[in-house]
Structures are given as C-alpha cells and as structure tokens.
Chain A
C-alpha cells in the first residue's frame, strides 16, 4: 500500500497486508451490495437498461477527487506524499481495448469476477479462471510484449496538467460531466425496454 499514512512513516510497512485485507473486504462488500456480482447488471450499461456501473464508478471518482482536494485545502493530506501511477500510453490504449472487449463479452471486470466467484456464480468462476490463464500467458510471453509495454512513457502525468488547467477546475468539469451523465442515463433507461434479471 502506498499512501500518505504509510509513506510518511506514521504506520509501518508491516501493516501493508492488513490494510490490503480490510480495504479488499470493504471493496468486495460494496461491489456485492451494489449488485456487481451479476454480469447481466454490469452488461446493462452496454444495452442501456442498467447504468449502475457507470454511476458507481463516476460517483467514486468525483467523491475521491473532491475529497482529496478538500483535505489538501484543509492541510490534512500532502499531495506530494501520494503515489501517482506512471502513464504508459501505448500499453494503456492496448490494455484498455482488451479490457473493454473482455468486459463486454464476459460481463465482468477483474474485481467483479472475483466478487461473483466468491458468491459461487459459475460465470464468475469461469471468468476468473480465464483471467488467470491470460495473466499466465502474458507473463510467459512478456519478452515479446516488453517494448510495447514500456513504450509511450509519460511519467506521473496528471490529466489536468495535460489540459493546462488546475486540478480544482478539472474536478469541477468532471462533476458537471458526472451530473450530466446521471440525468442522461436516467433518460435513456426510461426509453429502453426494461430487462428482468
């Protein structure tokens, strides 16, 4: 775990796995209680009868970004202590396409497939097995993909700096987009024939 609490030395690295277990349990509980263990519910986004996935992830994004910015403003979080995952543009695009195809075909993303497997859904178990097979094949053939994997390195790039605006202004636009999406999704959902699942 890389976060302000551990990297500032307040909590030892030995607690990493303990934190990981509790955060994982909380994440799994939130996924299951939102109905994310059902592939039909997740796939509803692509057919327009259920937008819960988009709503949940947009809500998570705006709550986290606004929360961090307010905590930073109040001096409770030091932004320099946060770890930013470096951007590798090519692998992000290729990985995104593969992930999108897998998501729409299987009806799960990696986290939700684990959630479905945990509650005993067969489709979740199959997806989970396939995911492991994919990870194994990728690891074994990594030297073939290595150049592509590391290409398009942009460092710890922030989207607001790419647009040349402040993080606060970017978050404001993100919130406007999210609110627009919430209302738009509700409108589409009304128009599309309801699916029982």
Chain B
C-alpha cells in the first residue's frame, strides 16, 4: 500500500470521527408564537382540490395524503394513497416519525377544514415542515372533481381547460365520464322537423 493511500485513509477516518464528535442533538423544536402567527396568516398552507388531484394523477412521490377522518369513513372512501391518522394519535411517536419524513409534502384533510386546521397548527408548532391542508376537505374535493358545476357559456379558455382537466380527473377516479345524477334517460329530445329542399327545376340544356 502506497504511503499516499495510507494518508488518505487516516484523513477519512479523522473526518468521519469529526462527524461523531460534532453531531448535534436533533430535538424536535417548537415554533415560537410570532412565527406561528405569521404561518397562520399565510394562505400558502392550503392546497386546492385541483392541485392535489393533479399530483395524485401524476403519482407524485413527494405527496403524502393524511386522512384525519374516523376509520369507518376512511374504509368507505378515501383519496388514493392516503394514510389514516386519528387526531388523538397525532402526537404519538409513530405519527411524528411519519410526519417528520424528509422530502414529503404532508397534506392533511378531513371532511371539511376544521380537523385539518387543528392538526396543521399542532404540527406547525412541532416544527414539522411541508405541512399543508386540502382546502375545503374531502367535501370540497368531491364537489370540485367528482361533481363539478355547469360551465358558463362565456367561460374563458382557462376555465374550459380546468373543466376538461376535472372531467379527465373524474374519469380517473370513478372510471365514468358523467356524474351519477346526470342521466341521459331523463332528457327528452325535441323532434326535429326536417324541411327538405324542393328539387331544382331541370335545366333546359346548355353546359
């Protein structure tokens, strides 16, 4: 073994030992009240139903959906890939380890904003980063994606794009092109009277 490799090996060990000596205690810090107040006033903690849907469809690996509803409701329906966490177990060791996963955007949701807002404040106080709320909860997500409203005749092209995205998303989640309450059978079509054009008079010759 050459001398230079021995020196490099010693240098590596010293550097690695330095890490052990310098290691800092990574305690979960608590956010100070002023920063918490600023974070509460900031609306960027909300993700819209469209934003979340887009990331679900794209299979975004950084997205972590956290369903805060009761287990029986979670079993009946939930957003794909969601984890069910009960609000009372939010401070348990396992949940905190899950929420402290690096590189993940944790999106909290319940049926509405209420439970998610409480959980968000609690999580933010515990300095959990990249914590978001699904705006309006699952109810708004359902009304936006699965049961969207009518499009106005004067809708802009951006609105029409959004509607076509929602239609595609609805097909993605339900496998259906139309909402369940919009049945074709209920519609009655007016009979169209076809007015046939009278045959043209035969020409008397010429070209």
Contacts and interface: CB of A to CB of B under 8 A. Distances in A.
A80 B102 contact: yes
Contact of B16 (A79, A82, A176): A176
Interface stretch (A25-33, A41-49, A66-74, A135-143): A66-74
Nearest to A172: B16
Interface string A139-178: 0000000000000000110000000001011011011101
A186 interface: yes
A73 B102 contact: no
Contact of A182 (B5, B15, B17, B130): B5
Interface in B101-122: 101-104
Interface in B5-20: 5, 9, 12-13, 15-17, 19-20
A62 B100 CA distance: 25
How big is the B interface, by class?
Answer: 20 to 34
Contacts of A186: 1, 5
Contact of A179 (B12, B23, B61, B98): B12
A34 interface: no
A84 B62 CA distance: 9
A83 interface: yes
A62 B9 CA distance: 12
B102 A84 contact: yes
Main SS class of interface, A: helix
A171 B1 CA distance: 24
A79 B100 CA distance: 11
A69 B9 contact: no
A168 B20 contact: yes
A79 B1 contact: no
A168 B19 contact: yes
Contacts of A70: 15, 19
A65 B158 CA distance: 46
A86 to B, nearest CB: 8
Contacts of A183: 1, 9
A94 interface: no
A80 B23 contact: no
Given A66-B16, A156-B104, A169-B23, 11 more contacts: A62-B12, A62-B16, A73-B24, A80-B100, A82-B102, A156-B102, A156-B103, A168-B23, A169-B20, A175-B13, A178-B12
9 contacts: A2-B62, A7-B62, A66-B16, A70-B15, A79-B102, A81-B102, A83-B61, A83-B103, A172-B19
Interface of B: 1, 5, 9, 12-13, 15-17, 19-20, 22-24, 61-62, 98, 100-104, 129-130
Interface of A: 2, 7, 62, 66, 69-70, 73, 79-84, 86, 155-156, 166, 168-169, 171-172, 174-176, 178-179, 182-183, 186
